[in-house]
Chain A
Amino acid sequence: MKNCKIVVIDDSMFSVAMLSEMLTNQGFEVLGSANNLEEALEAVRTLKPDLVTMDMTMPGADGLEVTKAIHIMDPNVKVVVVSSMMDDEIVKKAKKVNVSGYVQKPVDAEELALIINRVMADEELFKELEEIYYTVVKETLTDTFNKFFKAVPTFGDENNSNNEQVSHGISVVMGITGKYVGRIIFDTSNETVTNIAVKLLGREPKNTQEMINILAEIANIAAGNTCSMLNRKDKLLGLRVAPPTIVHGESLIISKSDLDTITSSKATTAFGDLYVNVGFKRGEGEWTTSI
């Protein structure tokens, strides 16, 4: 794991000194400290820490307000609250403002180090997934098409927008679970599925069910292989794919999703276009406390 750079935010000089010493002894790099909102923003802007420890009660803005302000400036900075106050209500509020972990004072050095390491490991793993998942999806879809049809698709530009999409007629939806949750959607037209079916069966499909079965099977293989390959790259991911549900009809809109990363593109195949949309969400696993 890379060296974690930390800024300590606390209005008590004693706490700043103690936490800085503790964190340095645990192998972290303490870049500096701040004791109010203005100093915290200045420190994040100039020192660019990976993580800040945050006191809850400070004069002026409290820890939650400072967290919000920091995330407006840089949403990637992780916040671990270190506070003597800790009850259900305040923990709930902290989660709402995207605090990553919560440690109660008096602080146990090893416990604080463990929580910071977990938060940073989660972040690195999610970043790793973000960097590779769509390449892997394209590789496995290419491989699946190559094995079935001896012809490979070409992919258009990747799009990361999370807008609602109008289906081209038939969609296969598969949920994903594991370290991070998500879903994969293959969307195409009835004509494309008919062309695929003709190639595989050597005749026109008898009915919609037959078309659905063929598309579901191809999507299931591509999605299953994608998760297996991602798991091989990092076994901590532990991704698994749910069975496919197929939706089809005259008007079908796939709504915007609550996902933290989403990528889609158009695969041009010998049978027509296939749209592949994949997304993941950071899980509850990222939340770490000493409770």
Chain B
Amino acid sequence: MDDKYIKPFVDSVLTVLPQLGITDIQLGRIYERGRNLETPGIIVILGLIGDIRGNVIYGITEECASGIASVMLMGMEIPSFDEMAQSAISELTNMLTANASTEFAGVGVNIDISTPTLMTGKFSATASSEKVVTIEMIVNGQTFEINLAIDKIC
């Protein structure tokens, strides 16, 4: 996949998370894989429609998500990944995707994003596209996956 579709998502994490007070962020591996994703515990799906058609599927472990949600909720303890923490992570993915779409617009790629759908449990996800590009970000030492399933570049 062309780098121009990956960079806005990497930049978005590097911009948005520090604004929320999370600074321990590193870029991990970027690789292509098939459409089947074993979920790490939590996934959030947002549809992408416009010059790109597909989905962005965030994959996060409960530990990583709870750590981020705790910072977003002003240091509140997150004993379990409850409704409040789920709402914080949904909002985070919304911010990350909206931020990436703003960067896309700057390079002439216009994308609208849907509302996020957050799911938890032990399950697999099958993306709509044959190939998925996975961007691993390491946040507070934990893997935060951004899976880009692009069906069509219009």
Contacts and interface: CB of A to CB of B under 8 A. Distances in A.
B90 interface: yes
The winner among B43, B46, B119 for most chain A CB atoms within 10 A is B119
Interface string A112-133: 0000000000000000000000
Contact of A181 (B54, B114, B129): B114
Contacts of B109: none
B40 interface: no
Interface residues of B, number: 37
Contacts of A266: none
A73 interface: no
A167 B119 CA distance: 10
A121 to B, nearest CB: 20
Given A209-B126, A242-B114, A249 B49 contact: no
Interface string A196-219: 000000000000010010001000
B125 A258 contact: no
A173 B45 CA distance: 8
Interface string B30-72: 0000000001000101111110011101000000000000000
B120 interface: yes
Interface of B: 39, 43, 45-50, 53-55, 57, 83, 86-87, 90-91, 112-129, 149, 151
Given A175-B113, A247-B125, A252-B120, 16 more contacts: A175-B48, A177-B49, A178-B112, A181-B113, A181-B115, A240-B49, A242-B53, A243-B47, A243-B128, A243-B151, A245-B45, A247-B119, A247-B123, A251-B122, A258-B90, A281-B115
Interface of A: 164, 167, 171, 173-178, 181-183, 185, 209, 212, 216, 240-259, 279, 281
Contacts of A212: 126
The winner among A177, A178, A240 for most chain B CB atoms within 10 A is A177
A248 B45 CA distance: 14
The winner among A245, A251, A259 for most chain B CB atoms within 10 A is A245
Contact of B115 (A164, A249, A259): A259
**Top 8 closest A-B pairs, CB basis?**
A175-B47, A242-B47, A175-B114, A249-B123, A243-B128, A177-B112, A251-B121, A255-B118
Contacts of A251: 121-123
Contact of A174 (B47, B50, B120): B47
